Structure 1
């Protein structure tokens, strides 16, 4: 079995959304004194490779811990959008070129190639974003989730979170942000998992996103 890790490592000095505090990893027990090592971990719920549920945007909507575990496992397909220019829309044509394959999966993962800018200021730049037609296609389908190799489904400049609001308004679906290595998945359907920490009343959580091939 071949497995591909699509996840950034959480560490103290890492890329975070503007205004978010970086993680704090504090050693609380050590081998010499205690005979074991233990770490206090302080992180925001949307740090690194993470998942948004509807409750991220709307009160009284589904939180991550309310989803069944089956929501986070299924078939995935990478939608290659690396030919797009900065600020250009991800359109429905990007999906339709995959034909019936796009209809047979649970997760559509959009590869803009933007992960190459991780750790630089350009990561917060004008990355491609999905347009309304793509969101309508997703909302009319039977998808468990969508994912991106960018810091958000909305542009950083969109403080109204227009795309988040449309995605989560009426549908129980998840959104994964800050994926990496999507180009390693090719253009075939693969097994995909993206299990988040199970935190009570969760508005989001880091995930370990993995693609694997039998």
Structure 2
């Protein structure tokens, strides 16, 4: 097993990872700034978003230190290196690849690999995951997360994929340490949609998570 880096304190405090994924990078900076100002302090930019690394690098210079930045859809060791160089403090992957886990540990980055079944969750944890991204969580719902929490009570779980704002609190009550939310949060903001509407969605999501925590 590789060296384990625990979940970031910002992630644990906020309980939300915003997944910024778009077909164009023109509004990435504005969206990141809007999310951070609205209280979402853990921001993931997927590497299949055009200009993702440049956006991460600029955001790290621009945003305060209490905003945690990460790279998503990380599939190779070289991408881990590039994310670290751009200022990311964590990486998120759709699956669990040993080479990615090892390189993340070498950089001291948080590592959130994707897994779904109990066997996959256990294997991802053994690789040194900071928390396991249960993906695609929305296909099975909060009840599934509650069920897998039973045998994996020591494994932090981060449901992602199809998690809507209206059910985010249900995942927290089911035992998630945080939720990863993309489309339901971003809406059309990356394509020219209202940033005021994005602010409203972000605030509602943060409030829903905080309310579920009591």
Query: TM-score range, shorter-chain basis?
Result: 0.3 to 0.5
Q: Which has the higher contact order (CA 8 A, sep 6+)?
A: 1
Superposition TM-score, scaled by structure 1 size: 0.34
Which is richer in strand? 1
- The structure with the largest alpha-carbon Rg is 1
Superposition TM-score, scaled by structure 2 size: 0.34
